[in-house]
Amino acid sequence: MAQNRETFGSHFAVIMAMAGSAIGLGNIWRFPTLVGQYGGAAFVLLYLVFSFLLALPIFYCEAIIGRRSRANAFGAFRKLDPKGHWHWLGLITVVAPLLILSYYNVVGGWSAQYLFKSLAGDFVGREEALVTGYFGQFISSAWAPLLVHAIFAGAVALIVVSGVKSGIEKFTKWTMPMLFVLILVIVVYSVCLPGAGAGVSYLVRPDLSKLSGSAVASAMGQAFFSLSLGMGTILTYSSYMKRQDNIAGTGFSTALADMLFALLAAFAVMPAVFAGGLEPGSGPGLIFESLPLIFNRMGAGLPLVSTVVAILFFFSVLMAALTSAISLLEVGVAYMSEETRLSRKQSTWLLSGLVWLLGIVWSLSFGPLADVQVFGMSLFDAIDYTCSNILMPIGGLVFVLFVGWKMPAPDVYDEYTNGGTLRFNSRIYPAFRFLVRYIAPVGIALVALTPYLF
């Protein structure tokens, strides 16, 4: 068991690392995709409500468990409750992020491919149908997706091998602000396209008739996915937090930044989808079809500017994906290097290798394995659905139930208020406690079960 655990260098570094984990493909790729599949504004609204009511409490619980125990997602439960069996439940939250990583790497590879394409100037000055149709052609080819998948997975392993401070922290500090500025530029351009109005109203006028049970569960799954919850990620990162950091404040700022990014991504993508006559429900390729369309149209007037914007955009998407992917791998690596005899380096390469192998299946499910269906879903959709709509809610329940009902109340209070020194946190503590004990567990269970009840 590691004696001198690393901690993050500063409070700023903590927020950046958490935001780096939260903001990623979940916001830029997954959110617009689901909004398109589940009918727009009503889904967005549910996502926002679930983020505050059900996701934020889990964030706080993970942070409390992590910082209190200063251990990995498995060891934390053993330290805080040595006689109980909670650590076996903790193990779910060690395995699940590795499953997520296995398909996250695939989409990370796609972003790398799109960066290479924009570097080659391939999205500017072409026929529109070629630019939007490229995704379908790329994804069904046998080798190209596997190659970029391997490159992305290798990069993730390399960063995690170099450790929390030198690897993760340095990396996350400067990429987020750039992404924010670029997305803003793209939103402005996108909503000004002729025909974009339909996309904007799709995002702001709720059509409740489109809300199926699985849309409701998916909105919660997306809130969890986007904030990196129920997976031991926030727990693990919080175990590197300092005593004086403010858990409630950090959680709230991370959540706000994360939601803002998701909304911006939707407002960048949807107006362009409508302006270009694309199909909003077309699935995982949506942003890879609509964004090149934006760059291509922009390029009609300003070819050089448009090429540069495209390059910078896909570069920052890639960075955002990397900072989330490393947080997914870190959960397993922290577990393995602290609970087994393997070193940090060995754990990283072993887990990365396994995750990469599994990822090959998900990547091929768009090409040679496209006909394989599970419960009417492609293999890729099935693993994504299982992780975010089943495993994440289970993980989230484990954390809120442990903090709400198992941990001694004075310990919870101590972590949430830093020993009573944070006045505002002490004042809202009763509300927090109520949320964690009653609203969150009941809410999570109910929402997760909607698709089976209705």
Residues 158-187 that bind ligand PHE (CB under 6 A): none
Q: Are 20 and 171 in contact (CB under 8 A)?
A: yes
H and E: helices and strands count for the chain: 22, 2
Exactly one of 102, 172, 175, 327 binds ligand PHE (CB under 6 A); that residue is 327
Chain-centroid distance, C-alpha 454 = 28
Nearer to ligand PHE, 107 or 422 (CB): 107
Q: How far apart are CA 22 and CA 320, in angstroms?
A: 9
Distances, alpha carbon 390 to alpha carbons 266, 343, 423, 444, 445, in Å:
25, 31, 37, 11, 10
Least distance (Å) between residue 324 CB and ligand PHE: 4
Exactly one of 17, 19, 27, 156 binds ligand PHE (CB under 6 A); that residue is 27
Applying CB under 6 A, does 59 fall inside the site for ligand PHE? no
For residue 139, which of 367, 371, 318, 357 has the smallest C-alpha distance? 367
Nearer to ligand PHE, 22 or 333 (CB): 22
Question: Hey, what amino acid is at 160?
Answer: V
Least distance (Å) between residue 311 CB and ligand PHE: 21
Residue 373's DSSP bridge partners are: 378
If phi over 0 gives left and psi between -120 and 50 gives alpha, with beta otherwise, what is residue 356? alpha
Nearer to ligand PHE, 296 or 327 (CB): 327
Region from 25-33, 85-93, 117-125, 408-416 binding ligand PHE, contact rule CB under 6 A: 25-33
3-state secondary structure of 297: helix
C-beta nearest to ligand PHE: residue: 26
Region from 34-42, 69-77, 203-211, 320-328 binding ligand PHE, contact rule CB under 6 A: 320-328
Least distance (Å) between residue 388 CB and ligand PHE: 8
Nearer to ligand PHE, 38 or 274 (CB): 38
Least distance (Å) between residue 108 CB and ligand PHE: 10
Strand 377-378 to strand 373-374: parallel, antiparallel, or no bridges (unpaired)?
Answer: antiparallel
Nearer to ligand PHE, 73 or 211 (CB): 73
Q: How far apart are CA 61 and CA 63, in angstroms?
A: 5
Question: Hey, what amino acid is at 378?
Answer: S
Nearer to ligand PHE, 233 or 347 (CB): 233
Residues 208-247 that bind ligand PHE (CB under 6 A): 225-226, 228, 231, 233
Least distance (Å) between residue 176 CB and ligand PHE: 12
Applying CB under 6 A, does 323 fall inside the site for ligand PHE? no
Size of the site for ligand PHE (CB under 6 A): 16
Exactly one of 20, 26, 221, 285 binds ligand PHE (CB under 6 A); that residue is 26
Q: How far apart are CA 194 and CA 190, in angstroms?
A: 9
Q: What is the CA radius of gyration of the chain?
A: 21
Q: How far apart are CA 245 and CA 64, in angstroms?
A: 11
Nearer to ligand PHE, 131 or 223 (CB): 223
Region from 118-126, 321-329, 336-344, 416-424 binding ligand PHE, contact rule CB under 6 A: 321-329
If phi over 0 gives left and psi between -120 and 50 gives alpha, with beta otherwise, what is residue 241? beta
Exactly one of 97, 109, 292, 395 binds ligand PHE (CB under 6 A); that residue is 97
Question: In the chain, what is the straight-line distance between the N-terminal and C-terminal CA atoms, in Å?
Answer: 47
Query: How many C-beta atoms lie closer than 10 Å to residue 45's C-beta?
Result: 15
Exactly one of 118, 324, 347, 417 binds ligand PHE (CB under 6 A); that residue is 324
DSSP element (H, E) containing 378: strand 377-378
Applying CB under 6 A, does 266 fall inside the site for ligand PHE? no
Binding site for ligand PHE (CB under 6 A): 21-22, 24-27, 97, 100, 225-226, 228, 231, 233, 324, 327-328
